Each structure stands twice: as C-alpha cells, then as structure tokens.
C-alpha cells in the first residue's frame, strides 16, 4: 500500500510540474543508441516509477527471483546491481499498478559487468508476462532500453529484468514508466502529423496588372499524396482493368510479391526471364506509381531457386554475383528502394554458403551495380514482437553497424525496412522501436503491413498500425501486404473479387480521405490583399481560380513538400488570373 501511495504521489507531482492536468502530456520521441559513460535522466522524471534514479537507495526496489541486489554510488551515479544470478529472471524489481486502456512507454539504462549481453524488461501482471523491450547491454558504459506495453486487465504488476546470460550482473538506473490515455496518444499522433506531414500554403492571386484579386474563388484538389502509401501486387493485375482502376485510385507505391525474386526470374540456371516484372514496371511507371525492389536475395533457405542448393564454393559465389549484377543493373535507378538480403536477421542461408560476411558482400555488390538506390534491410517482428530476440531493435542496429562500412562509389545509402506482420499490436512498443531505429537518421519504411487476427478486430488493429506508422516522424513510407488475389491473400485482403472493399479496405479509404486522397478538395475566397491561406497534406495539387466579377478563370498546379529548414513557415505561391 505504501508503495502504491508513493507511485500515485509521483504521478501527481509529475502532473503538477508539467501541467498535464489541463493539457496533453507530450511524448518524448528521443532515444539514445550510443553507449554512454553516464546514463541520462529518466524520461518523464520516471513517470510512475518510485525512486527512478536510485537517489534514495533501496526505496521501492526489491530483489526478483534469487538474485542478490546491492546499491552502488560511483562518481555521484547511484544505481542498483543484481548479482549472483542463477536463472534468467533473477534481477531487481519494482511493484507497480497497471491500468487497462492506458498505453505505457518504458525506458531504463542498463549495464552488465563484463562483455555484452541482451537484457529484457518484463512486467509480470495477472499471471502473464509482458515483454516491454530489450537492449544489448555492455560493460563500462550505459545503454538505453526503450519499450512499451499495454495490459488486458487493470491490477498490480511487477517490473523486472532478465537475461539468458546468468554469468553477468545486471546494473539498472534511470527507469521510467509513463502511462498515457488513448486521447493523449492520439494527440501525439495529431501533433506529429501536423508537423511532419502537413504544411501551410499561402496563395496570392494577382491580375494581369499585378494587382491583388479580391474574393476570387479557389478550388484546390490533391492530385497525388506526398507521403508514399502503397500496396503489394502480383502479376494478376496485368490485364485486369477493374483491379488496375481500384489500385491506381488509391496507391502511389507498390512492391511485387514474387515477380522480381530470384526463384521467379531464373528457374533454370542461365535462363533469365524478367518479362513479367518488366511489364508490371512499365504499367506502374505509366500511372505514376513508384516500385520498391523486392528482393535481390532472400536469406530463408525455403525460398531459393531449386538449382542453387547444389552449388558451393566459387560456383555459388559466381551465381550470386551474376544474380546481383543482372537484377540490379537491369532496374538501376528505376526503383524506390531495394530489399537486398531479405530477412537476414532470422535466417542465414547465404552466410552458411558464403561465410559470415555474406550480407555485407551482397550489399556491396548491389551498391556497385546500382549506387543511387537506397538499400534496405527488410525484417519481421522488429515492431511486432518484443519477445523475438533475433530481430529486436538492438539486433537490427547491430546489423546496420555491420553494413555501415560498405562504400562503393561514395557512401552507401541504407534504409530500414520493417515488414510489420502483426497479430495483436503492441502500439507503445511499436512507437518506441521506431524511436530507437529513427535515432540512426536513416529512412524507415513499413514494407509489408498486415494483421492476422479475428475478423471482428482485424480492421481495428490494422487501422491502429497504419495510424501509428503514418504519424511517426521517422517513417517515410508504408506498403501494405494485402490487396487482392484470386487464390487468397497472404493474411488479409483489402478487396473482394468484385473490387468492393472488405473492412480492411474500408480502413484504407477512410485514411486516404483524411490525408486528402481521392482528389480531396479545399475551397475558399481570397481576402482584400488577394491572399488565401490553408494547411494541407504534402502532395501535388491542382488549383482552379474563378473571378465572377470579371468572368475570368485560370488553372495552375503546385507542390507542397517537407522542408526541414522551413516547414513551420508557410509555402508561398503567386498565381496570375
């Protein structure tokens, strides 16, 4: 009871200090991906964590499992140490009260006493174990773990840390657990969208003499959405005009499900066939739809062209080099990006054949043949599943660091591809993972978004994921892995065979309408000085001007884009009538 009162007091004090009783508490998108000599202060002053920076020694902190804990003070840094660990969960803990319907963002600074070891944050609540996130902790410096969670029922919970490496001590400092209401969470999204996806257009209309035109009627129509939003396709779109119309009305980018993959283009060694991929690329170019290249190679052994398995040594290397040369040269400079070694955190087919630097070498080859196209790692479960240690944000960062030295014809431009195959989304964890990866400064794309869930919640979860991705300031594009397939889609479809939207497709249309899609219109009148000002989503726009007083009309076009140096300033346009 005393600990619960302390947590309530901490939250109340925090609310007073930030004024969040009357305004929405801002979200802290920051994340530190470097290992620091000293931990930073706890985010949100610790939120509901009592004694978050260990200034008060053992207050509110307890041993978990059979660990021994001690409280240290080194160079004015106070922290807690869990030692003599026999089981992965042996560590340090604090009891908390968790509420259903709240979204919790979590952070902590961790260190181990020797080497490196993955450490996870776990919440034990109502008989369940909720993993909030993980980090690869190091010795002699502090690493930031950032994560998040929601709970299915309100009640008591217990935070603890775990590591499968029981030989290490776990050092903990600067812990934070901040709850947000659904309304606050949405306000974060709205604020980010206004800042990152929109811009004010200041339009002035002048007559032939250069004089301002008052009360001119303006109609502004979005011709193309600025934020890349798209859908995967297969070859069945060729010749299917109903499918083509449904698709091109909605999407500005696509990924071919199979048609560029090695097992599709070279069924027999030495007999390459790109005819289907070429036709699809021509079609989408004609309709102004960008194409992501998917993929150069796939690291999953189950998805290889059959003849490749029998090769080894130099013969295998030459086959891979020919593949990279062929496909990267053919589509050089024509694609939005390349998924280079698909799913190379979970699988290691090419490493087993070519050695531990296989991914590095394939990225280097791709860079040599197509130097200007962004090269993506493309992985699943980095956003979807905090329990998956193979593809955690920390493991993803590790792979990025391995590839960073690739330099051919200048610095390689790397990108972060996150497949986003969700079941039940952990939205706070998703946001925190994007924060961590976003700290690299590299472009992030959600590349294969879908949701495998019961039909009564599938569309709801799908909307949650799309909204979170679109709102995050570091996400530069989204492709959903669901459209239409006569044989059935991978996990979900957006439309049926008559191209009538399913509930998930209705979500897409709803969001596109919000984002100005479907040639959304804004209307208004110029003021006495000939000005009209409005805030619009980034994109390409058509402008129609009508002055009934002089019976004159004109048409123009303009483009609104994000400008990091001046996005808070209006984008000014002057048009003649």
Which residues are identified as catalytic? 343, 448
Q: Which pair of tokens denotes residue 486?
A: 């006569």
Give the bridge partners for 542, in sequence order: 221, 557
Specify the DSSP element, H or E, that contains 552. strand 552-560
CB count within 10 Å of CB 215 equals 13
The answer to whether 472 touches 464, Cβ cutoff 8 Å, is: no
* CA 461 and chain centroid, separation: 16
> Residue 438's closest CA among 468, 408, 482?
468
State the Cα–Cα distance between residues 307 and 80, nearest whole angstrom. Answer: 56
Residue 144 CB coordination number (10 Å): 23
Cα–Cα distance list, 265 to 191, 280, 370 (Å) = 45, 14, 19
Burial class of residue 45 in the structure, from the number of CB atoms within 10 Å of its CB (0-12 exposed, 13-18 middle, 19+ buried): middle
Burial class (CB in 10 A: 0-12, 13-18, 19+), 322: middle
For 89, 206, 547, 574, the CA distances from 526, given in Å and listed in that order, are 66, 10, 10, 12
Q: What are phi and psi of 428, to 5 degrees?
A: -60, -40
DSSP string, 327-375: HHHHTTTTSSEEEEEETTTT--HHHHHH-TTHHHHHHHHHHHHSTTSPE
Please state, in angstroms and as integers, the Cα–Cα distance from residue 430 to each residue in 395, 463, 548, following that order.
15, 14, 52
480 strand-pairing partners: 231, 449
Q: Which of 389, 511, 378, 537 is nearest to 447 (CA)?
A: 378
Give the burial string for 518-542 (b: 16+ CB within 10 Å, else e): eebebeeebeeebebeeebbbbbbb
């Amino acid at each position: 009871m005393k600990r619960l009162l302390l947590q309530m007091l901490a939250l109340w004090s925090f609310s007073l200090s930030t004024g969040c009783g009357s305004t929405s508490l801002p979200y802290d998108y920051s994340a530190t991906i470097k290992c620091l000599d000293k931990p930073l202060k706890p985010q949100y002053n610790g939120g509901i964590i009592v004694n978050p920076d260990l200034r008060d020694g053992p207050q509110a902190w307890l041993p978990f499992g059979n660990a021994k804990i001690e409280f240290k003070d080194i160079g004015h840094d106070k922290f807690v140490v869990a030692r003599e660990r026999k089981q992965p969960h042996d560590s340090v803990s604090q009891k908390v009260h968790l509420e259903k319907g709240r979204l919790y963002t979590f952070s902590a600074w961790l260190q181990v006493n020797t080497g490196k070891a993955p450490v996870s944050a776990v919440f034990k609540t109502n008989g369940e174990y909720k993993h909030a996130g993980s980090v690869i902790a190091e010795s002699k410096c502090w690493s930031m773990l950032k994560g998040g969670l929601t709970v299915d029922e309100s009640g008591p919970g217990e935070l603890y840390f775990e590591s499968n490496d029981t030989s290490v001590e776990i050092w903990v400092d600067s812990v934070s657990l901040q709850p947000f209401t659904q309304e606050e969470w949405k306000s974060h999204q709205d604020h980010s969208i206004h800042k990152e996806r929109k811009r004010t257009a200041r339009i002035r209309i002048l007559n032939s003499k250069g004089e301002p035109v008052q009360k001119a009627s303006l109609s502004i129509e979005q011709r193309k959405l600025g934020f890349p939003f798209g859908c995967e396709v297969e070859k069945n779109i060729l010749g299917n005009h109903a499918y083509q119309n449904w698709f091109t009305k909605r999407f500005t980018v696509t990924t071919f499900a199979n048609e560029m993959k090695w097992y599709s283009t070279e069924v027999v060694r030495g007999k390459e066939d790109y005819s289907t991929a070429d036709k699809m690329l021509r079609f989408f170019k004609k309709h102004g739809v960008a194409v992501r290249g998917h993929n150069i190679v796939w690291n999953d052994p189950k998805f290889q062209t059959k003849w490749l398995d029998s090769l080894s040594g130099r013969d295998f290397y030459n086959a891979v080099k020919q593949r990279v040369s062929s496909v990267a040269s053919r589509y050089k400079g024509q694609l939005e990006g390349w998924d280079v070694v698909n799913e190379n955190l979970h699988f290691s087919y090419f490493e087993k054949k070519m050695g531990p630097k296989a991914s590095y070498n394939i990225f280097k080859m791709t860079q040599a043949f197509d130097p200007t196209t962004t090269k993506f790692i493309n992985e699943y479960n980095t956003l979807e599943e905090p329990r998956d240690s193979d593809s955690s944000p920390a493991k993803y960062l590790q792979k990025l660091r391995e590839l960073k030295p690739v330099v051919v014809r200048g610095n390689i431009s790397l990108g972060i591809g996150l497949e986003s195959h969700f079941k039940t989304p952990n939205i706070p964890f998703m946001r925190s993972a994007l924060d961590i990866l976003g700290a690299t400064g590299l472009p992030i794309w959600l590349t294969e978004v879908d949701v495998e869930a019961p039909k009564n919640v599938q569309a709801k979860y799908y909307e949650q994921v799309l909204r979170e991705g679109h709102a995050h300031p570091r996400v530069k594009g989204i492709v959903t892995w669901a459209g239409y397939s006569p044989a059935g889609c991978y996990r979900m479809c957006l439309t049926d065979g008559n191209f009538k939207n399913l509930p998930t497709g209705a979500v897409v249309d709803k969001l596109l309408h919000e984002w100005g899609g479907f040639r959304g219109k804004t209307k208004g009148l110029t003021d006495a000085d000939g000005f009209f000002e409005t805030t619009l989503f980034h994109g390409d726009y058509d402008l129609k001007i009508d002055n009934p007083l002089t019976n004159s009309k004109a048409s123009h076009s303009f483009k609104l884009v994000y400008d990091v140096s001046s996005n808070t300033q209006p984008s000014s346009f002057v048009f003649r009538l």
